[in-house]
Amino acid sequence: MTSRCVVSLNVVFRTLCQSTKYTNSSVRRKSLWTQDRVLTSPHKNINIPNCTLNEFVWENLDKWPERTVAVCAITGRGYTYEQAFYLSNAFAANLRTKFKIVDGDVVSVMLPNIPDYPLVAMGILEAGAVISSINPIYTAHEVHRQLLVSNAKVVVTLPEISNIVKEAFKLAKIDIPIIVIKTNGDPAPEGTVLFNELSEDVHVDTSCLKKVRRSNNDVCFLPYSSGTTGLPKGVELSHRNIVANCIQISEPAIKQHNETTKTHQDVVMAVLPFFHSYGATVTMFHRMVVGGKIVTLAKLQPEQFLQSLEKYKANILHIAPPLGLLMTSHPAASPKIYQYLEVILNGAAPFAGSDANRLLSKIQRKIDFRQGYGLTETSPVVSLPIIGSEHYSSVGNPMPSTEVRIVDSNLKNLGPNETGELLVRGPQVMRGYKNNPEANRETFTEDGWFRTGDMAVVDDNGDITIADRIKELIKVKGFQVPPAELEGVLRDHPSVLDVAVIGVPHPTNGEAPKAFVVLKNGQNADTKDICNFVNERVASYKRLNDIVFLDSIPKSLSGKILRKDLKAKYC
């Protein structure tokens, strides 16, 4: 499907519907529920090629060699697909020859979103190694722990954070090579190797890459789970897992991209971190598969982000709730800034339907806004609404070749409109947690279903709505109170910008909800006013009477509220 960057709403949706030939009724010709109360996908099963992720990414290279694969939003520095292919191959060859990387070795990548990231990632895979992503704002203590558990052989980072890596080496009592990517004219730190010298090495013999022997069942990506219920765990995602997820999100009824042609190339603004599976698979790997342009932002600076949307004519945007709230409330936000946007996909955490409506009212035209559901352990996408869905609180139906169960505390299957834990089975589900058999036993059922730890409800049409994390549910007099529900109500208050809700001990009720509120600039509201606003809208056991006003809500870079940090500091 070819689409211009600026088109009217009616043209966008008419084109989408004509090209996909899908409507709500055609997708749901029959019930998605089996007799055993298993929810199936409305989409036909996918065929997964027997290839590695890097082979899959480069499969259509000849269709768009001169197109830009990645460009820095601030400096304009970037690469074409052809350049990326040859530079990543040279880097891969040097990893094997100069650093003695062999099949299955782990190479840690501690980088923000820069245009070199896709080249580094592809080079690691082409060398037969495994990408292990590290948050670039981690402390030395956090880095050293991840280096040890992943057994990394090389680290790729920036010169300005190489000292953190060196401190981590001391803590871990290891000494491995550091490769740095220079983004300015500063000299490379002592004891490091320059990435561009490895990738631009015209003398390296790339024939060594013929010795790489990797199957699609081998691990290719080793991100670490957020650790909201304990220390982060290494998530083993295979080539097959990520290839399958790329194919799943290309399903015509749910895809959020246009075909790359002689006259059109999608532009996606990459502000969500590549070290997270959402940014890695949906924004980076999948966009390379379909020939899109990735505009990278190393750091979220609101004015630069908004200006870049307009400057680069970004028509695809992947967000997490904090970014959506920023787009709604920032003084510089305007319909002009958002004039090229055609698709916004929210993920990482739930975005209330009321928040979605506020964002769309700021854009002042009805673009294709959807939110999907997934986890690091599922590569990440589990479900996604069909194109043009206006059920903003829903995360849609299961992806192709994906099954879902809603179960009670005894793992007994529940049916439509019953709330329980969501279980998943599909080709995108991870192999398991690295060297953690205890966590694997807790996470997988005996018959191979993955336990998400999320509470969900599914309607008769198979639309999934996420309620909350099981471990984050607040238990009031035996009733379960989802924090996300109260957060959605709080955001409806005209003075409230952002919120978080946690459960705190209560002498008679077991637990009680406690809210943390960020007010909009220039707005005044007191605890009584906000509590009354919420309590008029919820059942008695969900009522609030405790609010703390903050300047900001602590969140991970993927947009998840750090409830444990709030509990540690305020409870």
| Beta strands in 123-238, from DSSP E residues, in sequence order | 130-133, 152-157, 178-180, 193-194, 219-221, 235-238
The answer to whether residues 244 and 46 touch, using CB atoms and an 8 Å cutoff, is: yes
Closest CA to 542 of 473, 457, 464: 473
Phi-psi region at 316: left, alpha or beta (left = phi > 0; alpha = psi -120 to 50):
beta
Cα–Cα distance between 96 and 125 in angstroms, integer?
Answer: 11
Question: Residue 416 in 3-state DSSP?
Answer: coil
Q: At what angle do helices 483-491 and 353-363 cross, to 10 degrees?
A: 40
State the pLDDT at residue 97.
98
Question: Strand 316-319 to strand 267-270: parallel, antiparallel, or no bridges (unpaired)?
Answer: parallel
The answer to whether residues 510 and 500 touch, using CB atoms and an 8 Å cutoff, is: no
Structure token digits, residue 218: 């081998």
State the pLDDT at residue 2.
31
Which residue matches tokens 């040890």?
148
Task: Provide the 10 A C-beta neighbour count for residue 313.
Answer: 15
Phi-psi region at 433: left, alpha or beta (left = phi > 0; alpha = psi -120 to 50):
beta
Phi-psi region at 520: left, alpha or beta (left = phi > 0; alpha = psi -120 to 50):
beta
What is the DSSP secondary structure assignment for residue 218, as one 8-state letter?
A: S
> Would you give the distance in Å from CA 449 to the centre of its chain?
22
- What is the secondary structure of 132-168 as a DSSP string? EE--TT--HHHHHHHHHHHTEEEEEE-GGGHHHHHHH
What is the DSSP secondary structure assignment for residue 161, as one 8-state letter?
A: G
Closest CA to 474 of 520, 439, 512, 517: 512
Tell me the average confidence (pLDDT) per consecutive run of 10 residues in the chain, 571 residues long. 31 37 48 95 98 98 98 98 98 98 98 98 98 91 90 97 96 97 88 97 97 98 68 90 98 97 97 94 98 96 97 96 91 97 91 90 96 95 96 95 96 96 98 95 96 94 87 77 86 94 86 95 92 89 92 86 90 84
Cα–Cα distance between 57 and 368 in angstroms, integer?
Answer: 26
Residue 504: strand pairing partners: 512
The answer to whether residues 237 and 223 touch, using CB atoms and an 8 Å cutoff, is: yes
The answer to whether residues 316 and 342 touch, using CB atoms and an 8 Å cutoff, is: yes
> Which are the contacts of 262, defined by CB distance < 8 A and separation ≥ 6?
none
- What is the secondary structure of 515-554 as a DSSP string? EEEEEPTT----HHHHHHHHHTSS-GGG----EEE-S---
Cα–Cα distance between 385 and 253 in angstroms, integer?
Answer: 9
CB-count exposure of residue 507 (10 Å: 0-12, 13-18, 19+): exposed
State the pLDDT at residue 4.
29
Residues 418, 421, 427, 428, CA torsion sign: positive
State the pLDDT at residue 155.
98
The answer to whether residues 348 and 329 touch, using CB atoms and an 8 Å cutoff, is: no
Question: Strand 432-433 to strand 235-238: parallel, antiparallel, or no bridges (unpaired)?
Answer: antiparallel
Question: Strand 343-346 to strand 316-319: parallel, antiparallel, or no bridges (unpaired)?
Answer: parallel
Cα–Cα distance between 532 and 146 in angstroms, integer?
Answer: 46
Question: Residue 24 in 3-state DSSP?
Answer: helix
pTM over 0.75: yes
Cα–Cα distance between 114 and 74 in angstroms, integer?
Answer: 10
Structure token digits, residue 252: 């015509």
The answer to whether residues 95 and 142 touch, using CB atoms and an 8 Å cutoff, is: no
Nearest 5°: phi and psi at 236? -85, 105
Cα–Cα distance between 404 and 311 in angstroms, integer?
Answer: 41
Distances from the Cα of 17 to the Cαs of 26, 258, 380, in angstroms? 11, 13, 26
The answer to whether residues 283 and 268 touch, using CB atoms and an 8 Å cutoff, is: yes
Domains of the chain, each with CATH number or no CATH: 77-214 (3.40.50.980), 397-469 (2.30.38.10), 473-570 (3.30.300.30)
Structure token digits, residue 418: 């019953």
